[in-house]
Structure 1
Amino acid sequence: MKLSHMLRYIPLFFLGMYALSAMAIEPFVVKDIRVEGIQRTEAGAVFNYLPVKVGDTMDDEKATQAIKALYGSGFFKDVRIEVENDVLIVLVQERAAIAQITFSGNKSFPSDKMKEGMKQIGLSEGLIFDKSMLDRAEQEIKRQYLSQGKYAATVKTVVSPLERNRVAIAFQIEEGAVSKIRSINIVGNQAFESKELLEQFKLTTPDWMTWWSKNDQYSKQKLTADLESLRSFYMNQGYLEFNVDSTQVSITPDKRDIYITVNITEGEKYTVTDVKVAGEMLLPEDEARKLISVQTGEYFNRQKVTESSKAIGDRLGNDGYAFANVNAVPEVDKDKHTVGFTFFIDPGRRVYVRRINITGNTRTRDEVLRREMRQLESAWYGADKINRSKQRLERLQFFSDVNVETPAVPGTADQVDLNLNVTEKSTGSIMFGAGLSSAEGVVLGVTVNQNNFLGTGNRVSAQINTGRVNTVYSLSYTDPYFTPDGISRGFDVYRRDVDTSYLGTGTYKTSSYGTGVKFGMPINERDSLSAGLTFDYTQVNLDATSPGQYLLYCSGQLNCENTSLALNLGWAHDTRDNVLFPNNGVLQRANIEIGLPGFDLEYYKAEYKHSWYKALSKNFTLMLNGEAGYGASYGSKDFPFFKNFYIGGVNSVRGFETSAIGPRQPNTTTGTTFATGGTKRLLGNAEIYFPIPGMKDAKQLRLSTFIDAGSVYAADQDISLSDLRFSTGLGVSWYSPFGPIKLVLAKALNPKKSADGLVDDRTQLLQFQLGSQF
């Protein structure tokens, strides 16, 4: 009889490097396999890991492989193999399962978010308990608190056994106080005061804004970025050999205060002595030199060197050289403290775009994006065309993000693909406007817009204005690509009612109905023309207290009707880099509205607008805006008073009530006055936009400070700058998830009041517009 038949049990233990015990077995044919000790794990899972099946020959090597495989599954903390009468017996002891994970003491992070984080590193309810994963989770929690500046935070874990081979894990957290930076000391600076150098840092000691920015909380990443900003500052001032020798970050024993010391060596200032251009000169040397902003005789400036290399590379990119490389190689003379630069140009091979791939547009049709592309497939690569395409897509306001990549086509040296990935956002909005004045009370308005109707790029807009004085109902539809060449067509239908009786004055009521069609034609990338016709019917209702000029317009009657066919012509020039929050560029508009002869109204209104944007720095943008308007009648009747210009309010001269500036007429009934508007209009705005301190993203929310000036003038008045009204104040513009919100705190600087009450400007300190987006 074989030895294996004589042995009752042969235990094999998996120890160290999965070595078997000294006792070995002779090979035998497995008649059956039995698994013992499993509670949650299916027997079939064990059989899947075993390298032997019934009918196979079992030996020492396969026994070792079986133990390794079962341990490797992670389900078991102990594995033994026994043999009885040629039956292979696998005895296992399962690892405990996690039944519950709880957190206590965590105030900065919600428990549900922490559970999600634990799940990502393999620690979750229902999974097998692994001590190494628990240690990793504990370290990750500590790391998260350290990123918040809470260096005194402690994390303790308690593992409690439960019935049915389960455990409960409790994380007991003591967050502690936030550690603050108490001092940042720069050592070795001689050319600049420490105060000036610390202005280059985002990290700072506590001040009145750090509760919001958190910049008084230490972060290794922030310090690294600040040191690079310091290096750039010195490099841009000529200090070519500047170096950060060391940094020391120390924390007090109670882990509340942090002290940072930065040791630097400034070196000497270097002067640029020579600038050369070399390499493969595909550009004329004169043109290349014009792109170089580094000049001989001036101090070294790393930013100018970088910008010059980029400018030459971008210029070559416009001609198809997507992988052009421009290196500015310095020639340093340490004795004379001078440096010369040779810009070596390597244009590489000229490439073309094989395909344009668009992803991320789940609602917007592909054709809506492709028609905005200025870079074409199978055409030479053009960096300027790609940038312009990206700008046009961003200006659609259909997408919150537009990413462009140009990877090389594998296996080729002269082809790239243009990959566009967009992130869509809600393009429908409900805009609410509200105001409160002593004259008109609460004024409410709502405008519903869908700028990407059914993903076609067409615009649909409906407006309802429910003010007591002005009530407007309108519906418009615009197809921006009525023709493939980009000619747009739009239709408008409206009704406008004006009732000034709520002002407590004997004034007038009008009801206007109209419909129109308009066309737009692009001239080039920046300029466009527009033309349209609008048929309008307006009924004017007066009463005995109406002003004499209104009665005169209606020939002494209390009612009169007017029909008109208005021709609208316009021109626009737009170079803004962003429609919503521009930083650079110009917007010019000129429009003229003409009441065509043969109808009751024969008039014209001309308007011009010029807005100029200039980025003063990374965070500050200057906006200058000027507007002018002029209207007159060329027929037998006077200029229709209900076509007058008005000014004042949140979108013109802030700090004054809407339409409150300009000529006023007395109300003989109440003894007050009301604005009548005018046929001439002037408006000027100067505004500086900047982000909220500590706010990283200025694309959605920014502050501004402004000065406004403007007025309107009656037909019999000469334009006089002494009549301009001025205001100043602060504003907040926020493109929120609920739509655009504008909040203004303004002070009217020169409101006019006269003894006879004929000039009595009404002011508002707080004005706002808000929206809700769907």
Structure 2
Amino acid sequence: MSSANPVRPSLIASLLAFCFAWLAPSAGAQQELDPPPEPLTVIDVRYTGSAGVSSEQLPTVVAELPNSPYSEHRVRTAVERLYDTGRYAQVRVFRQDAPDGVVLIIELTAKLRVRNVAFQGSDAVGDRELRRRARTVEGGEFADSLVERDRSALTDLYAEHGHFQAEVFAEITPEEQLRDVIFIIDEGEQAVVRAVRIQGAEAVPEDDIRGRLPIRTGDAYSARALDRALDELRDNYTQRGYLSMESFRPDVTHDPDANAVDITIPVAEGPRVHIGFTGHAKHDADSLSKAAALERVNDFALQAARDNLLDFLGRRGYLNASVDDPTQTKRGDDLVIGFHIQEGARYRIEEVRFESDEALSVEALRGQVRTRKRGRLGGVPLLGIFSDGGRFDPDLFEEDKRVLELHYRRLGYRQARVTGGPIIEDDGSRLAVVFQVTKGRRSDVSGIEIRGNDTVTTEALLSRVSLKPGDPRDRLRELAGERSIRELYAARGRPYSEVRTAYNAETGVLAYEVVEGPPVTIGRVLIEFENPDPKTRPYVVRRELLVDEGDPYNGLLLDRSRQRLFRLGFFSRVSMRTPGFDEGEETVDVNVALRERSAGSVNVRGGFSPSEGVRGTLELLQRNWNGTGRRLGSKMRLGTLGNRYEITFVEPWTFATPTRTTLRIFRDNLEEQDDTLTTGALINLSQSIFTHNRVSVQYRYQEFALAGGADGEKIEDKGIQSTLSAVGAAFLRDTRDDLFAPGKGWYNEVRFEVAGGPAGGKTRFTRVTTDARYFRRPVGDIVFASQLRLGVSSRRADLSPISSTERFRLGGSTTVRGYPERSLGVQDRFGAFRGDLLFQGNAEVRIPIKGVVGMAYFVDIGNLWIDYGDIVDDPPKVAVGGGLRVQTPIGPVRVDIGAPLSRLRDLDQNPKLWVALGNAF
């Protein structure tokens, strides 16, 4: 046996040294021969394909490709951004090398859009159902595969309706990048049911079952009728006690020669189930069976039924009730499910007790929870149903515990825990609910620091934090501060900034640590209409946007821009996407996608009001006239007291600024204005200031004539001058959260108007009016609403009185509801009650009851006077009342009853009934 000699270590080391010495010069020489290549430059970008390209429609990263360094990442990003615009079905990029760099050839295949979709020959299936099933939609992307899929889906839809022999064809008409699609349908005859078989029915006669099904031999077949038959079949077996019955997928066989359907429904009946209860004395079997809600027989369903019974008994006050595990006993072919119940005594809550270390008073704690002890009527026979509490609700108790913990934590007790539960005391005769509070150590804020901020001052950031030194550490307010600081950075163009808090438990210092993100700017703002033939001009969209190319990125302004576009009223969908934002890019494009809806409308309204009787209104409105955003409308109102006709034109942007100009021309002969015929015009210019404010100036001119009267009678004989020319101004601030049913916020308006003098016209006066409204929710959804209106009209002593049409009126359904319409004030020589000084105050509590129904209580006060000295002799009139509110899609309908508390002349003191649409204020 021989072995190889081992290789000497010195020999291996020599060989390695030789290799390194030979390779080193070669590597150095290679470095000298091949310096690193310089980056390539994109010297040109060319576009090919079916899509025309405008430089304004290119995303920023694509527009910046020429003369930029070439990289695969930049090209991939450009392709993604082109897809993000929503204009292209396919984007392909080819690279072509050139002596000075590379040329990129971008092949764009435009998306084909569907202009019109129509269905011909459809009688058995409605147009709406056909459109729900088809995925080819008007304004959507066109694809042959999608049309083929829809053709197959529509064929299946007709089969569901019993038209098994229906055929669907698609006719496609191209026009440039648009396609018109017509689905031509040959429905054929609807199949009839030839036979219905129940396979597996043994305990229940098959003929009996078939007789109860809503689908029978000779009926027209449809899948919906079959589904109803299956539901009826299951209900039929359940009512007979076959809780374990199972029905399987029916077999539907269509005979094309006879155009008939044979239906076979397989069933597995299982045993008939009886539910029995023992041990119960205070509940009948029917109520227990309903509470158990046993619909199947298996271990899970039986345990759920037992839990349902315990919950049912517990909620009715039987807290010591017990339910044994259900038993199953065979009785012939039937199955008996037995529940043994021990109800025990019934308890009502006699005390709600708080066991804590007195961080808060018992009254303060009790105000946080909804669990209540039995009211005074709880122990009175028959009257106990009106008791305001007393039943222990475990779900409500758990909610109360969470509320208490949150309340303690907001007071700085971060480790607060609430336990407890119902306790039966005094030898089982008394129920108390105990909340056991362990508050833990309180955390206070001794100081607040801002760290890491460079571009925003510490003072500006501290102003966004509601917590102050000395406050308890409230996590909700702490997080609100984080959010507010992030919003401030986002508003200043740094939306990637991060904020987190750090609390030092030893020193009590709360630090807001800021990691400032890079500045982000808006790249291109690209506008895309989803409609194939949009009417709105692009500049109408751009002027509503609060951001422009090159501006700092501001998400809040983007949201407000989207809201402004929605408020225009002629877009059904507004989408704003910012591709690249989630990836952290520092230049972000804004893609605005819009779907137009019909801007024209015809509105017909009618109704009745106590002040105007029967009235009807016909209105024609175009919200987007000629695609410019201008509004043009006409309105005709016919009623018991006369008619009114008007034409309105609104220019939303005047002098290239967001100044709204409204021109209204009207003519009316409303008898409520002293049987006068009025012809006039009004022009109003208004502009928003910041978010909630609006200022306006106005000029109106009116001519008055008698609508009827004795021969020779003049308009001046009615206390009305023949012409009116007035200029005015107004300031409005509106912070209400809802225009029709506000729950919080303010509405403040001040108006000033001067008639006559330099403005011309025979009517002369100066008038100032104010209207202040305040809304808040003191508790839950209850709304407290209040209003204060003041007005003063004055004239020179040597001039004729103010025209009766321009004087204040008061009383009725929207002012002081205990008095008839326009009944307050001083009676003039024409028999009308008016005044030159106005005071009106309203307070109302609006309480929701259930769903759309609510109620309200109100107090109204007000009066009219001629001079200030009349106020003492004729103080304001007061009315109180209440009513119902019903919310409807067109606003709340209210029914109010107001009772006068102050006597008014010789009028009766009976309450007044008002039925009206909309809130009083």
TM-score (norm 1): 0.60
Deviation per CA, 1:593-624: give whole Å up to 9, x if none. 52467976231252322324354556445544
Specify whether residues 293 and 622 from structure 1 end up closer, same or farther in structure 2 by C-alpha distance, changes over 3 A only: farther
For 2:622 and 2:404, the matched residues in 1 are separated by: 46
For 1:586 and 1:358, the matched residues in 2 are separated by: 37
- How far the C-alpha of 1:734 sits from its partner, in A, is 5.6
SS in 1 for 2:481: helix
After superposition, residues 9-20 of structure 1 pair within 5 angstroms as: none
State the partner residue of 1:652.
815
Match of 1:288 among 451, 461, 468: 461
Specify whether residues 307 and 430 from structure 1 end up closer, same or farther in structure 2 by C-alpha distance, changes over 3 A only: farther
State the partner residue of 1:235.
409
Match of 1:564 among 723, 726, 742: 723
Specify whether residues 490 and 644 from structure 1 end up closer, same or farther in structure 2 by C-alpha distance, changes over 3 A only: same
Matched-pair contact (CA < 8 Å) for 1:519–1:532: no
After superposition, residues 102-501 of structure 1 pair within 5 angstroms as: 102-103=231-232, 152-156=292-296, 180=315, 189-191=356-358, 197=365, 200=368, 228-244=402-418, 265-333=438-506, 339-354=508-523, 355=525, 371-376=543-548, 378-386=550-558, 388-389=560-561, 392=564, 409=581, 411-415=583-587, 432=606, 434-436=608-610, 443-447=613-617, 453=623, 456=629, 458=631, 460=633, 462=635, 464=637, 466-467=639-640, 470-483=641-654, 484-499=656-671
Identity of aligned residues (%): 16
For 2:554 and 2:675, the matched residues in 1 are separated by: 58
Specify whether residues 419 and 289 from structure 1 end up closer, same or farther in structure 2 by C-alpha distance, changes over 3 A only: same
State the partner residue of 2:838.
681
1:604 alignment partner AA:
F
For 1:622 and 1:291, the matched residues in 2 are separated by: 30
After superposition, residues 541-580 of structure 1 pair within 5 angstroms as: 554=716, 563-578=722-737, 579-580=739-740
Matched-pair contact (CA < 8 Å) for 2:645–2:667: yes
- How far the C-alpha of 1:358 sits from its partner, in A, is 8.5
2:623 alignment partner AA:
F
In the alignment, structure 1 residue 692 sits paired with structure 2 residue 842: no
State the partner residue of 2:696.
529
- Aligned-residue Cα RMSD (Å) equals 5.6
For 2:914 and 2:594, the matched residues in 1 are separated by: 35
**Structure 1: any 5+ residue segments left out of the alignment?**
1-39, 41-96, 107-117, 133-149, 159-174, 250-258, 501-506, 545-549, 668-673
For 2:750 and 2:444, the matched residues in 1 are separated by: 47
State the partner residue of 1:671.
none
State the partner residue of 2:912.
765
- How far the C-alpha of 1:475 sits from its partner, in A, is 1.9
Q: Which has a greater percent of helix?
A: 2
State the partner residue of 2:230.
101
Specify whether residues 234 and 523 from structure 1 end up closer, same or farther in structure 2 by C-alpha distance, changes over 3 A only: closer
SS in 2 for 1:381: coil
Deviation per CA, 1:372-393: give whole Å up to 9, x if none. 4324455212355346446656
SS in 1 for 2:809: coil
After superposition, residues 604-615 of structure 1 pair within 5 angstroms as: 604-613=765-774, 615=776
- How far the C-alpha of 1:233 sits from its partner, in A, is 1.3
Matched-pair contact (CA < 8 Å) for 2:630–2:651: yes
State which structure, 1 or 2, has the greater radius of gyration over its C-alpha atoms.
2
Matched-pair contact (CA < 8 Å) for 1:101–1:125: no
Matched-pair contact (CA < 8 Å) for 2:704–2:715: no
1:645 alignment partner AA:
F
For 1:359 and 1:201, the matched residues in 2 are separated by: 53
Deviation per CA, 1:690-729: give whole Å up to 9, x if none. 551566xxxx887654433222223696455852122233
2:694 alignment partner AA:
D
For 1:261 and 1:394, the matched residues in 2 are separated by: 52
Specify whether residues 601 and 372 from structure 1 end up closer, same or farther in structure 2 by C-alpha distance, changes over 3 A only: same
State the partner residue of 2:706.
539
- How far the C-alpha of 1:284 sits from its partner, in A, is 1.4
Matched-pair contact (CA < 8 Å) for 2:684–2:696: no
- How far the C-alpha of 1:592 sits from its partner, in A, is 1.0
Matched-pair contact (CA < 8 Å) for 1:601–1:640: no
Specify whether residues 406 and 328 from structure 1 end up closer, same or farther in structure 2 by C-alpha distance, changes over 3 A only: farther
More relative contact order in 1 or in 2 (CA 8 Å, sep 6+)? 1
For 1:188 and 1:228, the matched residues in 2 are separated by: 16
SS in 2 for 1:276: strand
SS in 1 for 2:669: strand
1:509 alignment partner AA:
D
Deviation per CA, 1:270-306: give whole Å up to 9, x if none. 3322322212343211222232222222333333323
For 1:298 and 1:291, the matched residues in 2 are separated by: 16
2:840 alignment partner AA:
L
SS in 1 for 2:731: strand
Matched-pair contact (CA < 8 Å) for 1:98–1:129: no
- How far the C-alpha of 1:449 sits from its partner, in A, is 5.6
1:538 alignment partner AA:
A
2:676 alignment partner AA:
T
- How far the C-alpha of 1:536 sits from its partner, in A, is 1.8
SS in 2 for 1:646: coil
- How far the C-alpha of 1:155 sits from its partner, in A, is 2.3
**Structure 2: any 5+ residue segments left out of the alignment?**
1-158, 160-225, 236-245, 253-262, 269-289, 299-307, 318-347, 378-384, 424-431
